[in-house]
Each structure stands twice: as structure tokens, then as C-alpha cells.
Amino acid sequence: MNSKEKYEYWLDIAQYDLETAVANYKSGRYLYVAFMCQQSIEKVVKGLHILYTNEEADRTHNIARIFNKTFDIIENRKMIKDANFDKIRKEYTDFFAELLYYYISERYPTYKQKLSSFISKEKAKDILDKSKEVFTWLESLSQYKI
């Protein structure tokens, strides 16, 4: 597969994960909404990394690290024609850090029970809505490379 095909593969499974987050929200599984949102955003960022660098992303779940590694490359940053890129990048980098918390908490059972009590229906909705917004923006970044 070439880098475009790999990106599209990652995008497909990222979309599936986001749809799974929606299904979990509808069924009241709010902890899994957060986890699947994290998975979705991580996968689209890994796809963008492949698209822009033609290399596999590092084996990490730190979305901000992967995203910044991709767009700290001057040639990649110059391709982005969105005047608000840096402002949006800062805002979403903070959200990436929040999502990492949900990944770690889901993977380690000692935190899972405690975390599930913090994710209310409203919090799950906020995470889901923000993830949809971020997903759309991330997906739009492919236009500068495809």
C-alpha cells in the first residue's frame, strides 16, 4: 500500500471507532464513549502521520506527540494553507492530552472504576461532540497532501 492507501485505511477504522462511540453514548456506556473517541482520534492522527511522512507512526498512544512530530516538520507545516492552523493546533493539542487520560484509565483496571464515576452523560456528550469536531478538522488536513 502507498501512503494514501494507508491513510485511507486508518481513516476508515477511525470513522468506525467514532461511530462506536456514538453507539456507546446511545446505550449509556459513557466510559467507552471517551475510550472510543480517543481511539478514533489517535487513528486519524496516525493516518495523517503516514500520509505526510510516508513512515509508520511511533508505537505510542500519545496523540499530541504523533501530531506534533508530523507537523513540526517544516515541509509538512508549509503545506497547510489554513491561516488558523497554529491556533487550532494549540486548542486541539490540549484535547489530545485529555483523550490520553481516557486511554490510560481504560487500560488499567485500578483507574477504570474511579474514572467511570467521573464521566457523566453530559461529559460523554462533550467528549463526543469535541471529538467529532476534531475529527472533521483532522480529516480536512489530508487535502493538502492528497
Cα torsion for 45, 51, 52, 58, to the nearest 10°? Answer: 50
CA distance 71 to 15: 22
The answer on pLDDT for 58 being more than 60 is yes
CATH of domain 3-144: 1.20.120.330
pLDDT in tens, 61-94: 999 999 999 999 999 999 999 899 999 999 999 9
pTM assigned to the model: 0.91
Confidence of residue 113 (pLDDT cuts 50, 70, 90): low
